[in-house]
Amino acid sequence: MTKPKVLISDKMDPNAAKIFEARGCDVDVITGENPEQLIARIGEYDGLAIRSSTKVTKEILDAATNLKVIGRAGIGVDNVDIPYASSKGVVVMNTPFGNSITTAEHAIAMMMALARQIPEANTSTQAGKWEKNRFMGVEVTGKTLGLIGAGNIGSIVASRALGLKMKVVAFDPFLTEERALEIGVEKVELDQLLTRADFITLHTPLTDQTRNILSKENLAKTKKGVRIVNCARGGLIDEAALKEALDSGQVAGAALDVFETEPAKESPLFGTPNFICTPHLGASTTEAQVNVALQVAEQLSDYLIDGGVTNALNMPSLSAEEAPKLRPYMGLAEKLGSLVGQLAHGNLTEISIEREGAAAELNGKPLTAAVLAGFMSNYSDSVNMVNAPFLAKERGLDVRTVRHEREGVYHTLLRVTVATSQGPRSVAGTLFGKDQPRLVEIFGIGIEADLEGNMLYIVNQDAPGFIGSVGSLLGENGINIGTFHLGRRETGGEAVLLLSVDQEIPESVLQAACALPGVKTVKALKF
């Protein structure tokens, strides 16, 4: 078996390369290349490990003909074109927890530096001045800290602030009342936070909804004399408006580790009294850099070797422990999706994936992605579990999932149903011997069959001699039958014939099969 090949294109802890090698990957560490050099090189690699320097653009992704996964050692993936990577079927992962403590500690450090004017006092003192009366700070004890964003980093900042005896209020649309209680904060709306907070720290990604969340209008709503810290993402604060608010005294101090344009070689904020800044140092500790490098190596190795998916931004997570158990189910799901996609006709607007018995206890998201990969392969080339959900969304397909706790005839069952102009059409399958995918029902007719290779599907009126006529037709045309599967609703009623054959069936043979007495539908299938 050929080893997966990984490129580390940015500087990171050397132990990352050792992890790749120990896990069975070939790894090259080639850093500092320009885009043209990377484009020329990337085609031979299955995995790409980066930090912030490498920009993974459309051009690079087009050249990355073997690429399966990109891993960012760190949380921010602004340097990766995720939508285009998804369309190319490339998994994009980050390591959101490796530098969480480091970033949270930096936010607390910046807050304390603001509260006691430490940078300016340091500069003054080293200049030979002793301006003790000039630097009158404030305590943080008893003050209210407003968190904009209460996810992983925000919750760590909250715990540190509570340890400093601060009160903490938080605005986060995804924060539940239960989680707020658990981390010891009060959940509030943004306007409430702005009017109540003595200090504000930001811990949210940059999205269309969060861009300039501290706009000129919102800065005007803040409590006069507020101090603001941003160690999250540039662009969350209107920097020109922040400059005005500092000059007017509406904002007593601001500390930024991030800027809208980086590297920030110039800014209207530079030189402003009570403004301090650092060059995006949030993740810059020895511990954090080691952590994210090791984590990205482990995550990429898990995916390339075992199929495990951790911290992916464009597909469902699947642990390395789950992957072996789910793999046969995913094979079944993909085949059922492919089958219903090949057989159902017309304008398909809805697909439903049902799990029953043992399948109901599994992680359903990878199974849904596998069904869609099989289904969408009938409409587009180069489809996999990463881009299939995006392609389905582009087609306007409504995807529904249903989990049944009951156990029916089969210990475990997957059912895929599509809505067609002729009504719903469903297929169902199970696993035999824990890992053998098997079709057990097609459009309401019970039939047991393996879905492999080239197959012939026929719906006919049940009648004596029909099987013999099909066998004769295939034999006369030199087509060998591998397996033979039958199902019917009732004696003399509608019947289904599913054959595996050793080669593709010519169109002329399909036409001849259509002309056989009692035949309603003939379809060549391929898996």
Is the alpha carbon torsion for 88, 381, 36, 32 positive or negative? positive
Angle between helix 100-116 and helix 152-163 axes, rounded to 10 deg? 50
Angle between helix 100-116 and helix 286-301 axes, rounded to 10 deg? 150
Give the other-Cβ count within 10 Å of 311's Cβ.
18
| Helix (H) or strand (E) segment spanning residue 26 | strand 26-29
The closest of 451, 442, 452 to 494, measured between CA atoms, is 442
Q: State whether residue 194 is helix, strand or coil.
A: helix
| Degrees to nearest 5, angle at CA 357 with 316 and 324 | 45
217 is catalytic: no
280 is catalytic: yes
| Helix (H) or strand (E) segment spanning residue 526 | strand 519-526
Instruction: Measure CA of the first residue to CA of the last residue in the chain; give whole Å.
Output: 23
233 is catalytic: yes
The closest of 85, 88, 87 to 71, measured between CA atoms, is 85
The closest of 212, 216, 257, 215 to 235, measured between CA atoms, is 212
Question: Catalytic residue among 139, 217, 262, 321, which?
Answer: 262
Amino acid at 246: L
Question: Catalytic residue among 51, 203, 227, 233, which?
Answer: 233
Amino acid at 256: L
Rounded distance between C-alpha atoms, residue 121 and residue 98, angstroms:
33
Task: Give exposure, 343-372, as e/b (b: 16+ Cβ within 10 Å).
Answer: bbeeebeebbbbbbbbbbebebbbbbbbbb
Residue 226 tokens, joined: 């507020």
| CA 113 centroid distance within chain | 37
| CA 491 centroid distance within chain | 50
Q: Residue 426 pairs with which residues in a beta bridge?
A: 417
Question: Catalytic residue among 106, 227, 280, 355, which?
Answer: 280
Residue owning tokens 């080239």 = 454
Q: What is the dihedral of CA 33, 3, 526, 330, to 10 degrees?
A: -100
The number of residues making up the chain comes to 527
Rounded distance between C-alpha atoms, residue 395 and residue 397, angstroms:
6
Q: Which residues contact 220 (CB under 8 A, 6 or more apart)?
A: 245, 250
Rounded distance between C-alpha atoms, residue 213 and residue 219, angstroms:
9
Q: Which residues are catalytic?
A: 233, 262, 280
